Amino acid sequence: MKTVYVDNNATTRVAPEVVEAMLPYFSEFYGNPSSMHFFGGQVQKKVNEARERVADFLGAEPSEIVFTSCGTESDNTAILGTLDSYPEKRHFITSRVEHPAVMNVASHLSRKGYRTTGISVDREGRLDLDELKESIADETALVSIMYANNETGVLFPIEEVGEIVKSSGIPFHTDGVQAAGKIPLNMKKSTVDLFSLSGHKLHAPKGVGVLYVRKGTKFSPFMIGGHQEKGRRGGTENVPYIIGLGKACELAKKHLEDENTRVKSLRDYLEVKIFEKIPNTLVNGDRKSRLPNTLSVSFEYVEGESILLLLSDLGICASSGSACTSGSLEPSHVLRAMGVPFTAAHGSIRFSLSIYNTKEEMDYIIEHLPPIIQRLRDISPFWKDYLKSQGKR
Ligand code: PLP
């Protein structure tokens, strides 16, 4: 069966160049980078080269890059590590639409007696900056606001957020997992102190991530152990994956223009054609400030899960809400926070593209999606009620 993979916000294909770059580090160069002998030393040198590539991609200094195991670890380290550095401050601010890697840390902190604030978003998924300003207090230890939403692709005005946070002298973390590789980033010109990145969202393997820590930012390690990563993250380095991530960042820098031109126009083409062919469809999220690869659409009066299964039977891999919430029939916390009506939130599908997608694949989706929606609406009592209310049946 043909596979059309449009679930790149869940995970991406490992680039062939990345696989190639990693392979020698499983077989030939298997030394421990901490070893004193030449065999470990040569690996350490390559880990440092990968660090330079990641730093170059983020517009950072190599010394500001800490390798982790995933985006979740980077988020946990940024939040729990910062709070550990400011034990007298017991207030944490985030948004209501974060990934569980931040959201569930906030819940954990609430259970531990911290005061936590979740900043609201509007119907378009835009952050309420006034609420953010009002929420900042003397006891605020950290503000963590995501760069780009994994479900809707909405981009928050991170530098504006950073200005607000930094003017109160508070550290600022952003979960940049969905932004990295999709929009230009430059930490040297940014207000961000801590930035999380995950390898498997940008064509590196699952199991490697990065936490950028601005020089001078107070930091305490989350993974306590050896002296690796200058004492900022214990544990022997995952050398092949770090090498792979270095290569993936080099490629992502090269492909950024393609992502923002060709991939964006494929996404726009898909959106326009869906609107043309399927009535009662809405886009979730601010179309003026959105990742170039993401399209979250709601088909009113149908179940997203049923759409997904029928698409999957045809080899089309998309997602309903975020991969982490699919399987549950509750509308996602993101769509609920945005106030998407129940009849639309249930029928929401996320298409997320990558540089490997083609126009033929978009046409394949456009050919098969309208009959699927029609078939599901034909058996939906909500759709029948809607038609009746419109005097159409
Ligand atoms: N943050 C965001 C915005 C994400 O989309 C994800 C993964 O979907 C994560 C964090 C977690 O990253 P990882 O899967 O590498 O732990």
Fold match between 4-10+255-389 and 16-252?
A: no
The pLDDT score that the predictor gives to residue 329 is: 66
181 lines ligand 1 (CB under 6 A): no
Tens-place pLDDT, residues 325-360: 445 567 899 999 999 998 899 999 999 999 999 999
Instruction: Give the closest residue (by CA) to ligand 1 atom 10.
Output: 71
Q: Per CATH, the architecture of 16-252 is what?
A: 3-Layer(aba) Sandwich (3.40)
Q: Is 324 a catalytic residue?
A: yes
Q: Which atom of ligand 1 is nearest to the CA of 200?
A: 15
Number of other CB atoms surrounding residue 48 within 10 Å: 15
Mean pLDDT of 298-320: 95
Query: 200 C-alpha vs ligand 1 centroid, how far in Å?
Result: 9
Tens-place pLDDT, residues 2-44: 999 999 999 999 999 999 999 999 999 999 999 999 999 999 9
Tens-place pLDDT, residues 358-393: 999 999 999 999 999 999 999 999 999 999 999 876
pLDDT over threshold 70, residue 257: yes
CA-CA distance, 320 to 177, in Å (whole number)? 19
Mean pLDDT of 142-156: 98
70 lines ligand 1 (CB under 6 A): yes
Residue of 21 and 320 predicted with greater confidence: 21
4-10+255-389 CATH choice from 3.90.1150.10, 3.40.50.2000, 3.40.800.10, 3.40.50.2300? 3.90.1150.10
The pLDDT score that the predictor gives to residue 342 is: 87
99 lines ligand 1 (CB under 6 A): yes
The domain spans of the chain are 4-10+255-389, 16-252
Mean pLDDT of 118-138: 98
101 lines ligand 1 (CB under 6 A): yes
Query: 281 C-alpha vs ligand 1 centroid, how far in Å?
Result: 28
The pLDDT score that the predictor gives to residue 328 is: 53
Average pLDDT of the chain, as a whole number: 96
